[in-house]
Structure 1
Amino acid sequence: MTNHTEPALRKSWPIWLPATWRQIGADLAYILPGFFVSLASFTALTTLFTLGIGTLIIWVGLPVLVACLATARWFANVNRGALRRWAGDIPPVHYRVPHKYTVGGMFKNLADPQLWKDFIHGFLVTFPLRTATFCIAISVWAAALGGLTQWFWMRFLPQDNTTLAELIGLDTYLRVSPETAESWFGLAYGVLLLLLLPFITHLLAAADAATTRALLTNETAALRARGEELAASRAQVVSEEASTLRKIERDLHDGPQQRLIRMQMDVEAAQRRLATDPEAARELMDGALEQSREALAELRQLSRGIAPPLLADRGLRTAVESLAAKSPVPVAVTGNLDQGARIAEGAENAAYFVVSEALANIAKHSGATRAAVTVDAGHAGLLLEVTDDGVGGAHVGKGHGLAGLVDRLAGVDGSLEVTSPDGGPTTLRASIPLGT
């Protein structure tokens, strides 16, 4: 499914506007907690990395290094989550598929470049960067507040204290007392820092965000991996459809075609005997009628897996309700997709076959007494949910039905989730994006 994140706050600079203070708050909420996350990641990764390198010679260090990179990935997920809250949508990230925790598998896991980028970010980059941004942010805030309130708290300083205004000769230049010159000077730089505060905090947050984006996202690799996955799944779908077409062609030749030829021969024989032997002609016509019924039954069986005209003419909701009406198990159809509402053709076909295969499995294997189908369409995509109160135990790896649905959904960038504990109930959820 597609995730939507609230967009980042619109940048505002005049300090007297409420939007500016909301921006400052969002920037500080990103900067200040990040320092403590970087402190924790630096401490944990330093410990694990040095322990792993030090014990690598006796092989103990290999799983320790794997744990180090796994910890780096966990901290990277925390940092990406913070960046997503501050900036809105961020580029995707791609990791290689993890291998088993054998010696060879652990060495292969260590070869994932994104894990090392996570490690570099958490071990070398964020701690010094966020220490600096944390100190600068706190210092600017303290200096701005201190300058604006200096007229009040400076009276509590020792009487023999030499002020900064006095050291630079500001009191002599303005011809006022050192205390007055210091109050005016503090007020001046306090106001200046307050006016610069939104620029400074946003610049610090942007510098941290740029570093996080550069090291913790890899859009090119993620898109390449996704493209390879889609190409493989669509090639699998094309191969399966070609195999299905060949099977249909073979079944048509061996089944209905032979019966139709037999029926034609019986009808022709009946025509020849109609005048001379009506009883024999009647028997031949009865045989031809039986052949036509069997041919029709075989054609209906073969048409399963081919989108019906009802789907093309009246849409997904009507086609799903037709499937539910034909099911031997009572099925309730709900959802916000109205009758006659149309979506992308590929999404419609994939959704129809998901429901068709799910209801067929319920009728054959589940032992259910009732089922329900929900069809919801929104901006994020189409969500299908098929549930039943059967015995459970369904799995995408069993048989070819559900496994075939995974490939079919992958061809339209969709996904399938099956929850079916032993004893039931079974819930099948399919998600199909409508914007692709």
Structure 2
Amino acid sequence: MIETTASAGTGFDAAKPDAESRRGGFHRELSYLLVGFPLAVGTFVAIVTGLSFGIGCAAVVFGLPLLVRTLHAARSFAAAERRRVEHLTGRPLPPHHYQDVQGQTTLARWFGALSDRQAWRDVLHVLVAFPLRLVGFCFAVTWVVGGIGEVLYGAWSWSIPRDDGTRGLVDLMTGIEARWADIAFNMVVGVVLLATAVPVVRAFAALQVSLSRALLTNEKQALRARAETLDAGRRGAVAAEAQTLRRLERDLHDGPQQRLVRLTMDLEAVARRLDSDDPDRARPLVDDMLTQTHEALGEIRALSRGIAPPVLADRGLVAALAAAAARCPVPVTLDTRFDERRRFAPVVENTAYFVVTEALTNVAKHAGAGACTVTVTVDGTVLRAEVRDDGHGGAHLGKGHGLAGLADRLAAVEGTMDLVSPVGGPTMLTASIPLRGVGEGEGPHHGGGGDEARG
């Protein structure tokens, strides 16, 4: 799994803050330090306890899952700290990377989580950040609260009980026993503390942010993993396109080509009968040729819909999915939760259409379903298409199956697919496709129309 954010420098003040940041910077830094300490106590106790019991019980059954749970907890704590740092700095952190263990066995997921470098870096951050946050909290409270208290010393010092032999710091240093001297000295100390509170608080906040950047981000590893994912997606796209071409060639050979061969033979027979001055015998062949022509055109249109349906270019994704749902032999309920006039980048629309139509084909051929529901939503920068049927279930993503081709097609656009299909059903396939900014708009697109689009 790759989590990527825009890279922002390595220094705390690498970019100039905006006016709002300048006005509220100190308050955010102070709250960052004050809130960070109780969070550090809770996370430190949880992680140390989990590590102690997990390592101590590693020889028995529940040791490994406890360690894995501890690493997952550290991962959640790290995510919360990243959000706190981004809120404080107003800039996204560099990317980080966790190993992808989805689709593996339970034991493989455990060992995958235990071998994840970033997860152990999260644990290290919890352990190292605790003493640093403790010191930062103490300095922040001392400089801010102590400074305010010293400035107001004259207003509350009267309530302090004093013995006759009590001597203040001013009395010990200068021999002056006057109360005004004691008040003046404490007020000066308070002014100094408040005057230096901003750089002190900012320094400790910057130190903690630097620690978070060092341990909770790993830009090189994230970019390397992203490059591997893109390379795997490219290979999957090439394989998916090759498989599509082979299937298209087979369908053309078994369908329209055979009908055209028969049509040619019938034309030759009609020519021979017309030459024999017996046109009545040629009429049945002409009628049969018209039937073959209509059937060949229907098969070619069906094949073209699987490649680039005209309705998709003319009227958009919603209309194309509605046409695909109408053609499915299984009753389909289509629910699109966005404006049907909204257009996306062609690669997004083509991928979503291909995934839904192939999923419906699998439902019709293999699921034994009586009903199917297709739900398409847009969540932020991701388009999600969910296909759910009430069939007998048991579908999987093994190589050599049609669903594996869908996963490859989605990987080519950095999309993901999740399949839940227990034996006995129901089956739910969810495809997530990241939206592309280029080519996306709100108005209708005008493309070359076809018979289906006009119909």
**Shorter-normalised TM range:** 0.7 to 0.9
Q: Residue 163 of structure 1 contacts residue 178 of structure 1 at CA under 8 Å; is this kept in 2?
A: no
Report SS of the residue matched to 1:373. strand
**2:34 aligned with 1:28, yes or no?**
yes
Instruction: Report the more deviating stretch, 181-190 or 361-370.
Output: 361-370
Note if contact 2:233-2:413 (Cα within 8 Å) is conserved in structure 1: no
Instruction: Tell me: CA distance 1:407–1:259, structure 2 relative to 1, closer, same or farther (3 Å).
Output: same
Q: What is the SS of the residue equivalent to 1:274?
A: helix
2:132 aligned counterpart, secondary structure: helix
Question: Could you say which residue in structure 1 is the equivalent of 2:172?
Answer: 167
Matched to 1:212, the amino acid is S
Other structure's SS at 1:342 match: coil
Preserved CA contact (<8 Å) 1:163 1:179: no
C-alpha change, 1:415 and 1:181, in structure 2 (3 Å) is same
CA drift at 1:431: 1.7
Residue 37 (structure 1) aligned to one of 33, 39, 43: 43
Give 1:319's aligned residue.
320
Deviation per CA, 1:74-106, whole angstroms, max 9, x where unpaired? 324313313313424433322345697989x96
2:419, 2:433 → 1: CA distance?
15
Q: Is the 8 A contact 1:310 1:319 kept in 2?
A: yes
SS of the residue 1:431 aligns to:
strand
What are the ranges of 5 or more consecutive residues in structure 2 without an aligned counterpart?
7-16, 438-455
How many Å apart are 1:417 and its aligned residue? 2.3
Distance in structure 2 (CA, Å) of the matches to 1:369 and 1:100: 32
Match of 1:117 in 2: 121
Task: Give the CA deviation at 1:130.
Answer: 2.6
C-alpha change, 1:249 and 1:101, in structure 2 (3 Å) is: closer
Question: Does the Cα contact within 8 Å between 1:144 and 1:193 map onto a contact in 2?
Answer: yes
**How far off its partner does 1:346 sit?**
0.8
1:393-412 matches, within 5 Å, as 393-397=394-398, 400-412=401-413
- Alignment partners' CA distance in 2, 1:248 and 1:131: 66
CA contact (8 A) 2:334 2:374 kept: yes
Q: Is the 8 A contact 2:384 2:432 kept in 1?
A: yes
Letter in 1 for 2:121: K
Relative to 1, partners in 2 of residues 1:12 and 1:157: Cα closer, same or farther, differing over 3 Å? farther
Letter of the aligned partner of 2:279 in structure 1? P
* Whole-Å separation in 2 of the counterparts to 1:299 and 1:308: 11
Residue 128 (structure 1) aligns with: 131
Q: Cα–Cα, structure 1 residues 224 and 158, in superposed 2: closer, same or farther, change >3 Å?
A: same
Q: Residues 236 and 247 of structure 1: is their aligned pair in 2 closer, same or farther, counting only changes over 3 Å? A: same
Structure 2 counterparts to residues 184-263 of structure 1, below 5 A: 184-253=184-253, 255-263=255-263
TM-score (norm 2): 0.76
- Alpha-carbon deviation of 1:354? 1.7
Show the 5 A alignment for 1:326-345. Answer: 326-345=327-346
* Count of residue pairs brought into register by the alignment: 417
Q: Contact (CA 8 Å) 1:72, 1:122: kept in 2 or not?
A: no
Query: Aligned partners of 2:105 and 2:389: how far apart in 1?
Result: 35
Q: 1:325 to 1:61 in 2, by over 3 A?
A: closer
Tell me by how many angstroms 1:208 deviates: 1.4
1:295 is displaced (CA, Å) by 3.1
Q: Indicate if the aligned counterparts of 1:335 and 1:376 stay in contact, CA closer than 8 A.
A: yes
Q: In 2 relative to 1, CA 167–87 (structure 1 residues): closer, same or farther, beyond 3 Å?
A: farther
Q: Measure, in 1, the Cα distance between the counterparts of 2:324 and 2:422.
A: 25
How far 1:178 sits from its partner (Å)?
Answer: 3.3
Superposed, 1:269-280 pairs within 5 Å as 269-274=269-274, 276-280=277-281
Distance of 1:39 and 1:430 partners within structure 2:
39
Question: What corresponds to 1:148 in structure 2?
Answer: 151
Identity %: 42
Provide TM-score, normalisation by structure 1: 0.79
1:282 offset after TM fit, Å? 1.9
